[in-house]
Amino acid sequence: MASSKSFVFSINAVLMALFPLLDIYFFQDLPIGIGSILLLLTGVVSPFISQPNLRNKDATVWIIALIVVSLFTYFLQSSNSWFSSSLYWHNLIVTVYILFIIISSGSRINITLLLKTCIIIGVFASVICVYQRFSLLTTGAFEMFYIPGLNLGEVVGEQVLTLKRPAAFFTEPAHLCIYIVPLFYYTLNNNKILVAIILAAGILASGSTTGFLLLGFILFCFVLSKGSMKRKLIYILFFVLGAFVVVTYAPTVIEDNVDKFNETDASESIRLFGGVFFWRFFSATDVIFGIGLNQLENFAMSFSLYAKNYSGALIYAFTCYGLLGLGATIWFIVSLFRKPNANIISIIIFLGVFCTDQILFNRNLVFLLVFIECMRQLNVQQKMNSLS
């Protein structure tokens, strides 16, 4: 039984590391990513072999609460002409199987193997992203690195597709950074400086604003907390030199981000505030229960307006699930900070992504929640080792 447990934990670790990569591909006739299928299969077996080693109880309660709210939303909204019942049931099924992955395979993972596999993938992705940025600067284009022969079921981001911003083998620069920013923190915190530099280069080369800001935040925290003054000055020098290289040889990376900060009206940023404009059309029922996950585009069309089903997940929680869903979401975020031995930086990384990207409910949410719990478990182990 022990060998079976070890094998399942290892398989789950490798599949979780590959989840954000494989889930963009679909089998021809199935509306579900390959990464999800593999984790669902191991998830069916895992509970029969072992107890979970990762504690995702709060995440489970949160998602179940949103599912319950969404059921009320369906009964209240389904009679409206703009409401898409087929879209609702599709989203509900996705939410349920994401929940199952978190409860089952996502709670039974070899933490060491997961982190090692993620670092290998992250370094590989960073090198490719830097190569793509270099090609873009020298030739005006770059090579795509998607797996040939597989059905790329997820739409590749427009700026990647038009060869303006590299993303390695991810579909968006932001998705690349969601994967490697946590790894940058982990490697930097464990003094794997060379690996951290490679990951930082990938983040900068992607041009992702969220990645850029989180990179700066992590470096700032690291400089404040680690080592002697001499060592801190060395880290600051390396950061300044890296920034100088980027500004000098790849100024478009900085210019793209500066342009985003210089928007005349922050409320126009769909990544931060997508959907806020349409709150003025909400009825009392909409305010309490929301309009349903990914129903914003249909809702806007009922007023002869256009909207994308996109926003920062915190704002989107209110749009889709109303005050009840937003309350549950805020409770969940607070519960992450209040957990014993919580790793605060990993939670802030999650919160930075959660406020700037729509990760309800997809592979990026699962990956970040598993990473947070892994960091917490490492804190627990470190504390136990110090007492023994």
Centroid of chain to Cα 128 = 20
Considering 240, 262, 284, which residue would you say is the last residue of a domain? 262
Q: Is the same domain home to 115 and 247?
A: yes
For residue 326, give the DSSP letter.
Answer: H
Q: Is the same domain home to 254 and 337?
A: no
Considering 60, 93, 109, which residue would you say is the last residue of a domain? 109
Query: Alpha-carbon dihedral of residues 253, 24, 116, 95, nearest 10 degrees?
Result: 110
**Does a structural domain hold residue 169?**
no
Task: Render pLDDT for 277-295 as a digit per residue (tens, 0 to 9).
Answer: 899 999 999 999 999 999 9
**Does a structural domain hold residue 58?**
no
Q: Positive or negative, the Cα torsion across 247, 253, 258, 261?
A: negative
Q: How many CA atoms are closer than 13 Å to the CA of 268, on its beta-carbon side?
A: 6
Write out the residue range of the structural domain in which residue 30 sits.
1-50+80-109
Instruction: Name the domain count of the chain.
Output: 3
d(CA 106, CA 382): 22
The more confident residue out of 207 and 157 is 207
The more confident residue out of 79 and 27 is 79
Q: Is the same domain home to 115 and 258?
A: yes
**Would you state the structure tokens that stand for residue 300, as one six-digit string?**
């806007």
At residue 91, does pLDDT exceed 70?
Answer: yes
d(CA 145, CA 127): 12
**Does a structural domain hold residue 356?**
yes
**Does a structural domain hold residue 294?**
yes
d(CA 100, CA 121): 25
Question: 310: which residues sit within 8 A by CB, 6+ positions away?
Answer: 270, 271, 274, 316, 358
At residue 263, does pLDDT exceed 60?
Answer: no
Sole residue written with tokens 């136990």: 384
Question: 109: which residues sit within 8 A by CB, 6+ positions away?
Answer: 9, 12, 13, 16, 53, 54, 370, 374
Mean predicted confidence (pLDDT) in 6-16? 95
Q: Is the same domain home to 96 and 122?
A: no
Sole residue written with tokens 């926003």: 311
Q: Is the same domain home to 135 and 28?
A: no
Q: Is the same domain home to 221 and 288?
A: no
**Would you state the structure tokens that stand for residue 95, as one six-digit string?**
């939410």
**Does a structural domain hold residue 343?**
yes
Q: Is the same domain home to 98 and 138?
A: no
Task: Render pLDDT for 299-313 as a digit per residue (tens, 0 to 9).
Answer: 999 999 988 888 899
Q: What was the pLDDT predicted at 227?
A: 61
Residue 226 binned pLDDT confidence (cut-offs 50, 70, 90): low
Q: Is the same domain home to 207 and 273?
A: no
**Would you state the structure tokens that stand for residue 307, as one six-digit string?**
């909207």
Query: Alpha-carbon dihedral of residues 291, 292, 298, 301, nearest 10 degrees?
Result: 20
List helix spans (H) across the chain: 2-22, 34-45, 57-77, 85-103, 111-139, 158-161, 173-189, 193-206, 209-225, 229-249, 251-261, 270-273, 284-289, 296-301, 313-338, 344-356, 363-387
**Does a structural domain hold residue 388?**
yes
Mean predicted confidence (pLDDT) in 213-241? 72
Q: What was the pLDDT predicted at 224?
A: 76
From residue 105, how far is each of 182, 322, 324, 376 by CA, in Å? Answer: 20, 30, 29, 18
Q: Is the same domain home to 319 and 340?
A: yes
Q: Which pTM value belongs to this model? A: 0.91
At residue 266, does pLDDT exceed 50?
Answer: no
Q: Is the same domain home to 274 and 349?
A: yes
Considering 222, 247, 262, which residue would you say is the last residue of a domain? 262
Q: What was the pLDDT predicted at 257?
A: 58
Q: What was the pLDDT predicted at 40?
A: 95
Mean predicted confidence (pLDDT) in 326-342? 96
